[in-house]
Chains A and B, each alone.
Chain A
Amino acid sequence: EAGVTQFPSHSVIEKGQTVTLRCDPISGHDNLYWYRRVMGKEIKFLLHFVKESKQDESGMPNNRFLAERTGGTYSTLKVQPAELEDSGVYFCASSQRVEKTEAFFGQGTRLTVV
């Protein structure tokens, strides 16, 4: 069974540009999460989808970040316009059922804003 896959693995963009990160969860997983780790800091929750609905987006830092999950399958996280402090590793995770808390993580996308 394929795990959680994220694309791209690395992205280097200039300040002010737009970047879109993609996450393909494990097939059949209704829950999809985005997390990020800014250099030297802890991994922080961004948001949680249940199928195509945003269940919890309390961790989204500001309105430059837009997450979508059309059709309840893959998800995208767009940063527009990117700022230097957005640099970090963005992780996606998925899990099978609401009451089951084990989440499977992808490899992450390393975003560098220069």
Chain B
Amino acid sequence: SQQGEEDPQALSIQEGENATMNCSYKTSINNLQWYRQNSGRGLVHLILIRSNEREKHSGRLRVTLDTSKKSSSLLITASRAADTASYFCATGFQGAQKLVFGQGTRLTINP
């Protein structure tokens, strides 16, 4: 079954606005990670939040995790044109090393 379903699938906002992307998953997790992929490039790790954490910050990024709802959100504040990319959530499981990715959210920041 598919884990880590992001929504929306695509998001277009003006530079300077905040962008929020959501991720839902189906089974118990050990951690949840967010990655960014710029066009034609590899996946860049943004942030990891463990299952016993509820919120985490890194620069302009804020991630929340609600294990009761099996959902996470990624907030990017004061967006910049360089934030234009696809964003993926990926879930990790206890005792397993593989990550399960969602289909991603395509974020476009308009100047």
Question: Is A105 engaged at the interface, CB distance under 8 Å to the other chain?
Answer: yes
The answer on a CB contact under 8 Å between B97 and A56 is yes
The answer on a CB contact under 8 Å between B42 and A33 is no
The answer on a CB contact under 8 Å between A106 and B97 is no
- Minimum CB distance partner of A46 in chain B: B98
What's the Cα separation between A33 and B88 when bound, in Å?
17
Given the interface contacts A42-B104, A105-B42, does A56 sit within 8 Å of B96 by beta carbon?
yes
Question: Is B33 engaged at the interface, CB distance under 8 Å to the other chain?
Answer: yes
What's the nearest-Cβ distance from chain A to residue B104, in Å?
7
Given the interface contacts A104-B45, A105-B44, does A45 sit within 8 Å of B99 by beta carbon?
yes
- Which residues of chain B from 36 to 85 have any CB-CB distance to chain A below 8 Å in the complex? 41-45, 48
Query: Which of A42, A48, A93, A104 is close to B102, meaning CB atoms less than 8 Å apart?
Result: A42
The answer on a CB contact under 8 Å between A56 and B98 is yes
What's the nearest-Cβ distance from chain B to residue A15, in Å?
24
- Residue positions of B touching A, CB distance < 8 A: 2, 4, 30-31, 33, 35, 41-45, 48, 88, 90, 92, 96-104
